[in-house]
Structure 1
Amino acid sequence: MHRRFLLPLFLLGLLASLAGCGETPTGRSQLALVPNALMADMGEDAFNQLRNSQPINRDTQANQLVQCVAEKVVAGAKASYPGLAFPERWEVVVFEDASPNAFALPGGRIGVHSGLLRVAETPAQLAAVIGHEVGHVLADHGNERLTQQLGIKAMLLVVGLLGEEEFGNQQLMQALGIGAQLGISLPFSRTHEEEADLMGLEIMARAGFDPQQSVTLWRNMAASGGGQPPEFLSTHPAHESRIRALQQGLEKATASYRTVTPAEC
């Protein structure tokens, strides 16, 4: 239902010389032209589709853990990036899915797969994943990717190689990091992943979770995930590259962690 708004909106942005570039919270230049209110609407629509199509985990202990960690992570995000606008409330749902995934959507929605709780062995490791996913939202990665997709579609439309009806819901879902089969998390670009890793490290530290646990988490992921494709063939950083990058950011994050009260979940 958003299609008829998004494509004209993007074309208008092009005619306005793209209105310049913004910056992510880490200072990286970024082009993200879709209005935040529209991104929040799309996040709500995607989340509602997931709730209606995917089984929801009803385990009380698991839900209490995820809710506690998510609440503290959001508080840590606000402390880390006080200049950003945050949703008034965040909706958190644990989906019954064996894959070790989580995601966050614009507008304040967090989904955690039950399978992640078998890989994230401590609350701090769970905080590393949720902090990473919240980092994607705060850095407007979905908006940036959707702007890129719309730019390609708009150019094809202008030169007559694409009909407007060919741009639909699947592209919107992909931009938000949700697959064609709802509940499947799609990788963001390598740049987005690395940025969300470093933001997530600071967020979990400010939330009161030991950032050292992020390295342990990704080692667990490597052990549970089996073989990966070569790094140059994947938008996701290889596990060892991701761990090295996290280790480089640990000194700053650990200094932040030492200034707060350790979280209890």
Structure 2
Amino acid sequence: MKQMNFLRNALLSLAVLVTVGCSTVPITGRRQVSLVSDQEVMQMSLQAYREMMSQSKLSNNAQQTAMVKRVGQRIQQAVETYMRQQGASDQLAGYQWEFNLIDDPKQQNAFAMAGGKTAVYTGLLPITQDETGLAVVMGHEIAHVIAKHVNERISQQMLAEAGGGVIGAATGQGGATSQVVNVAYGIGAGVGMMKFGRTQESEADRLGLIFMAMAGYNPEAALTFWKRMDAASGGQSQPEILSTHPSNQTRIADIQKHLPEAKKYYSGR
């Protein structure tokens, strides 16, 4: 009987946590579980970012580096404008935006971390081809951050660990553990930083289209970019950035569906 009461109380406590710990994704309006604060996630993300950058070599190509920073700053401005229009600028509190180009021609990848720390690997540039193609990728990765997908992943991991110890460590004793954050980012499992589910990936595609459009980049470029990514896979092993993502056919179809919405935000430059 005592065990039954304990289990009942534990489940009730977990249900309360899930009910209270919810947030809403901008633009899509999807409700998501969020059991850790933005400040906790940003703190741990910053630590992970510093460790990664200390082990990485920045590109010495001035032109390409300037392009990454330019695209990043334009998307940053678009995000800040959108959040201000929605009365949600407080969700960007503590952001320290940074955009870097990492010299690694073998990695066809990019990532963005909570707080705005963003990086692109040189191996991706032959596929992005130009500034607009780069905006597709950076808009997508930054959208993951704005949608708080990392918070959601950490919360899902906490629930998967049955709540108790992980929830106590993450919410009541100094913030999320490094182990939980590493799982959320995929640290230690190669360069694929953002190991999100298909719902989160599709959501980032939609938000990313809008952010790149607001930044003055034609969102239609997303279609040709993902077709190039498909060609780059050669029908065999996929480039790193495609791991855990929806199939190319599904992604392109979804992007086509969301283009009319994104074009409303595009005025060109």
TM-score (norm 1): 0.81
| Of 51-60 and 107-116, the range deviating more from structure 2 | 51-60
Does 1:247 pair with 2:256?
yes
Among candidates 118, 121, 137, match of residue 113 of structure 1? 121
Matches for 1:254-265 after TM superposition, within 5 Å: 254-258=263-267, 261-262=268-269
Matches for 1:81-96 after TM superposition, within 5 Å: 81-82=83-84, 83-84=88-89, 85-86=91-92, 87-96=94-103
Distance 2:207 2:140 in 1: 7
Query: Alpha carbons of 1:16 and 1:206: their partners in 2 closer, same or farther (altered >3 Å)?
Result: same
Give per-residue Cα distances to partners, 1:216-243, cap 9 Å, x unaligned: 111111111233689xxx7310111101
**What is the RMSD of the two structures over their aligned residues, measured on CA atoms?**
2.5
CA contact (8 A) 1:179 1:185 kept: yes
CA contact (8 A) 1:201 1:211 kept: yes
Distance 1:187 1:88 in 2: 22
- Paired amino acid for 2:158: L
Describe the SS at the equivalent of 2:264.
Answer: helix
Q: Which runs of no fewer than 5 residues in structure 2 stay unpaired? A: 1-10, 167-175
Taking only the aligned residue pairs, the percentage that are identical comes to: 33
Distance 1:150 1:187 in 2: 16
Partner of 1:130: 138
Describe the SS at the equivalent of 2:120.
Answer: strand
- Paired amino acid for 1:47: Y
Partner of 2:209: 201
CA offset at residue 215 of structure 1? 0.8
Query: Alpha carbons of 1:93 and 1:120: their partners in 2 closer, same or farther (altered >3 Å)?
Result: same
CA offset at residue 125 of structure 1? 0.9
Among candidates 82, 91, 102, match of residue 80 of structure 1? 82
Partner of 2:67: 65
Distance 2:103 2:82 in 1: 31
Among candidates 39, 45, 48, match of residue 47 of structure 2? 45
Distance 1:103 1:16 in 2: 33
Q: Which runs of no fewer than 5 residues in structure 1 stay unpaired? A: 1-10, 159-166
Query: Alpha carbons of 1:206 and 1:22: their partners in 2 closer, same or farther (altered >3 Å)?
Result: same
